[in-house]
Chains A and B, each alone.
Chain A
């Protein structure tokens, strides 16, 4: 071996040794809108503050675009150190195939079983008694966001529930404002559908269909009323040509649309636009009728790695993500609810306080990510996409919906 080679090898070994303490972890996620990017930077700051390095692997597009990339990287033997997914059944088979790191020891050391609220979140991370993910936030989809500006221009009072919104929608339209902003993507239309059914059909029918997958209830009168309400909402959103959810939210922010049904992540967009809750916009959980929220959300999974150093760092990161300070700063920026009930969220704004109140009262539902497989969800989204874009009747949509529920898994 030549002297040069030796010198080079020694040099490499030394660099390798000096980086032993500071581990670089690549973290993939699909948080790319303004509010979301601000939130993820809180994680990165906290992790960099521990002397390690956060390598940001943001994947543009919604979860539907990012998830296949993430999963194929894990399956293809090029795993990232950590990745966002929605907790629920998305990672079920990856866990069964032994591709994700078991975090049970971290969870026991951190006492997650006692601090995570509602406890159903931790259940969604658990398979065969072992914990495989860190829930980081709670997102609920049953919110309607109302623009005060739009209602003032039309000389109307801001509605306080879904039925008032429906009554004022025609006046709003007459004043030249689009009553309901709706991004033309199946998952957004499915969210609107879910929120309206929960509000109109009531929680009992919702549980029967979504949790017990009872197709008879889906064919029943409660759901007929719900489908008619959705058909009415479709008419209010007929002239909405935007695609992405944040473009639709922007229509509410600028007052060109009266309202949007969207999950609480829309909150982040209002914050970035420096709007004030109660003055510039209002939010109604459960569409102002039925104060229950589903508890979907984001969780971090850690693909198995051969390098023990990275494994140790992965566990360190897992503990950090759920620590009280990081939970507060992250969730304030993102507009989502924290996963632990024991931290001080008094600096949160009115909408988040409403959400926290509902959580404290126990008004929680499992999210669609927990109750349905991805396969069933795509079918439900397809149905909504067809329904909202075309002129399918409410009765026909209901029949097809019941068929999907019958075959759901």
Chain B
């Protein structure tokens, strides 16, 4: 995505510019072709076929916007979108806050820092499927957390998110954050370590408190780190699928369905490719709607400045 603009190449004549670094360009041809054919080509193909009535096999019987009309009148899709919005919003904020707080705590030169770092990062080494299963067991009311607390004597303790349609998405959220915040912590920690010691000294001289220094001085300086973290979290949110399949299977009822699962179920279980393509096109649209203004601000702004 980054555009490398070499100042010397501006002065060189046009024709030779194309043949500059010939070997490097030659070597990147396979990747360029892959990107064009697989990503761009595949995306265009999907968008085009979302306007057809394809069932099990792709066919070109055009139906206009019928698939999209059906999509937006489908309960399963509306529930999926709502769930993704709740999960996305909470996961974005909580992962950042928890990740940064843990990193800041570790940065205070505590003892056994590497041990804590390893513990916090461990969940990230587990796949979403394992995470989902583990949390399914932890949140199971008959053997998990609820029965443990009850066995300690708090008999009325009630915590059963996975069987309650209203809060099941928060059961998923717990598992998602548990899995993801360790990595964000590591990225944040690396960012904090990159801050010059002199900044801290200067803040101390000026008599600014530790927390205030973090909020007002350090966090603005860590902007690139936050951008990296945001991109990582956001891509994790939009592809949320395996966690749901492993932990709840979309249930109870349809209450923990997500858009990626809608695409898979419609394409393969309902054998309705057109509907699945329409749903994935909508997912692409939502990513593009967020990505384009952001990319414009991020990269367009820098050129001007």
User: What is the CA–CA distance of A378 and B275 in the complex, to the nearest angstrom?
Assistant: 13
Chain A hits for B249, CB < 8 A: 185, 243
Determine whether the beta carbon of B255 is less than 8 Å from that of A93.
Answer: no
1/0 per residue, CB under 8 A from A, across B269-294: the answer is: 11110010000000000000000000
Nearest CB of chain A from residue B37's CB, rounded to whole Å: 18
Q: Which residue of B lies closest to A239 (CB)?
A: B163
Is the Cβ of A375 less than 8 Å from the Cβ of B57?
no
Is A375 in contact with B254, judged by CB distance below 8 angstroms?
Answer: no
Contacts of B268 in A (CB 8 A): 67-68, 71-72
Knowing A71-B56, A93-B55, A389-B165, the reply to whether A378 touches B251 (Cβ < 8 A) is no
Chain A CB within 8 A of B253 CB: yes
B41 within 8 A of A: no
- Known interface pairs A64-B269, A67-B269, A374-B269. Does A385 touch B55 (Cβ–Cβ under 8 Å)? no
Cβ-defined contact, A184 with B252, below 8 A:
yes
Interface pair A378/B253, CB less than 8 Å apart: no
Cβ-neighbour of B165 out of A241, A374, A390 (below 8 A): A390
Q: Point out the residue from A72, A93, A241, A385 that lies within 8 Å of B254, measured CB to CB.
A: A385
Contact yes or no, A375 B251, CB < 8 A: no
For window 354-379 of chain A, which residues contact chain B by CB distance below 8 Å?
Answer: 373-375, 377-379
- A382 CB–B CB distance under 8 Å: yes
Report yes or no: B271 in contact with A375, Cβ–Cβ below 8 A.
yes
Chain A residues within CB distance 8 Å of chain B: 64, 67-68, 71-72, 75, 90, 92-94, 97, 184-185, 241, 243, 373-375, 377-379, 382, 385-390
Taking a contact as CB atoms closer than 8 A, the residue among A93, A387, A389 that contacts B251 in the complex is A389
Residues of B within 8 A of A382 (CB): 75-76, 254
Instruction: Across the interface, name the chain A residue whose C-beta is closest to B271.
Output: A374
**B residues bordering A, Cβ < 8 Å?**
55-57, 75-76, 141-142, 163, 165, 249, 251-255, 265-266, 268-272, 275
Contacts of A379 in B (CB 8 A): 270
B75 near A386 with CB under 8 A, answer: yes
**Given A67-B269, A389-B253: 8 more A-B contacts, CB < 8 Å:** A93-B56, A241-B142, A374-B269, A374-B271, A375-B270, A387-B253, A389-B254, A390-B255
Listed A/B pairs (27) with beta-carbon separation below 8 Å:
A68-B269, A71-B56, A71-B271, A90-B271, A93-B55, A93-B56, A94-B56, A97-B57, A184-B252, A241-B142, A241-B163, A374-B272, A375-B55, A375-B266, A375-B272, A375-B275, A378-B266, A378-B270, A382-B75, A382-B76, A386-B75, A386-B253, A386-B254, A387-B253, A389-B251, A389-B252, A389-B255
Closest 4 interchain pairs by CB? A389-B253, A68-B268, A389-B252, A93-B56
Cβ contact within 8 Å between B251 and A185: yes
Q: Which residues of chain A are near B272, meaning CB under 8 Å?
A: 374-375
A378 touches B57 (CB 8 A): no
Contact present for A390 and B253 (CB under 8 Å): yes
Q: Please indicate the chain A residues that have their CB under 8 angstroms from the CB of B254 in the complex.
A: 382, 385-386, 389
Which residue of chain B has the shortest Cβ distance to A385 in the bound complex? B253
A93 neighbours in B (Cβ, 8 Å):
55-57, 271
Closest A residue to B275 using CB positions: A375
Residue of A nearest to B76 (CB): A382
Nearest B residue to A409 by beta-carbon distance? B55
Residues of B within 8 A of A71 (CB): 56, 268, 271
Rounded to whole Å, the gap between the CB of B75 and the closest CB of chain A is 7
Collect the chain A residues with CB atoms within 8 Å of residue B265's CB.
378
- On chain A, the residues within 8 Å of B75 by CB distance are 382, 386
- What are the residues of chain B within 8 A of A388 when measuring CB–CB? 253
Contact at A385–B251, with CB atoms within 8 Å? yes
Could you say which of A90, A93, A375 has the most chain B C-beta atoms within 10 Å of its C-beta? A375
Complex-state Cα separation, A71 to B271, whole angstroms:
10
Query: Nearest chain-B residue to A90 (Cβ)?
Result: B271
Our pick among B251, B266, B269, B275 for the contact of A184 (Cβ within 8 Å) is B251
Complex contacts, B55 vs chain A, CB 8 Å: 93, 373, 375
A388–B142 alpha-carbon span in the complex (Å): 21
In the complex, A389→B255 CA distance in Å?
9
| Chain B residue with the shortest CB-CB distance to A68 | B268
The distance from the CB of A192 to the nearest CB of chain B, in whole angstroms, is 14
Chain A residue with minimal CB distance to B140? A241
Q: Roughly how many angstroms separate A68 CA and B254 CA in the complex, as a whole number?
A: 20
Complex formed: what's the CA distance from A375 to B255 in Å?
20
CA distance A373 to B142 in the complex (A): 39
Q: Which residue of A lies closest to B168 (CB)?
A: A389
Q: How far is the CB of B261 from chain A (nearest CB, A)?
A: 12
Supposing A184-B251, A385-B254, A389-B255 touch, asked if A373 and B269 sit within 8 A by C-beta, the answer is no
Report the bound CA distance from A67 to B76 in whole Å. Answer: 21
Which residues of chain B have C-beta atoms less than 8 A from A386's C-beta?
75, 253-254
CA distance A386 to B257 in the complex (A): 11
A185 to B142 CA separation, bound complex (whole angstroms): 19
CA distance A225 to B165 in the complex (A): 27
A75-B57, A94-B56, A386-B75 known; A374-B253 Cβ under 8 A: no
Contact partners of B141 in chain A: CB under 8 A = 241
Please, how many angstroms separate the alpha-carbon atoms of A97 and B254 in the complex? Answer: 33
Cα separation A130 to B254 with both chains bound (whole Å) = 40
- Identify which of A67, A71, A90, A389 gathers the most chain B CB atoms within 10 Å of its CB: A389
Query: Can you name the residue of chain A whose Cβ is closest to the Cβ of B166?
Result: A390
Q: Which of B165, B252, B265, B266 has the most CB of A within 10 A?
A: B252
Check A373 against B57 for contact (C-beta < 8 Å).
no
Q: Are B270 and A374 in contact (CB under 8 A)?
A: yes
Closest chain-B Cβ to A251's Cβ sits at a distance in Å of 13
- Cα-based distance from A184 to B269 in the complex (angstroms): 18
Assembly CA distance A242 to B76 (angstroms): 22
- Distance in angstroms from B216 CB to nearest chain A CB is 47
Of B57, B271, B275, chain A has the most CB atoms within 10 Å of the CB of: B271
Contacts of B163 in A (CB 8 A): 241
Q: Look across to chain A and name the residue whose beta carbon is closest to the beta carbon of B160.
A: A241
Q: A146 vs B88: C-alpha distance in the bound complex, in angstroms?
A: 45
Q: Which residue of B lies closest to A97 (CB)?
A: B57
Most buried by A among B56, B75, B249: B56
With a cutoff of 8 Å between Cβ atoms, the chain B residues found around residue A97 in the complex are 57
How far apart sit A388 and B254, CA to CA, in the bound complex (Å)? 10
The answer to whether B269 touches A378 (Cβ under 8 A) is yes
From B162, which residue of chain A is reached at the shortest CB distance?
A241
Per the bound structure, the CA–CA distance linking A160 and B181 in Å amounts to: 57
Shortest distance from the beta carbon of A127 to any chain B beta carbon, whole Å: 14
Measured CB to CB, the nearest residue on chain B to A403 is B73
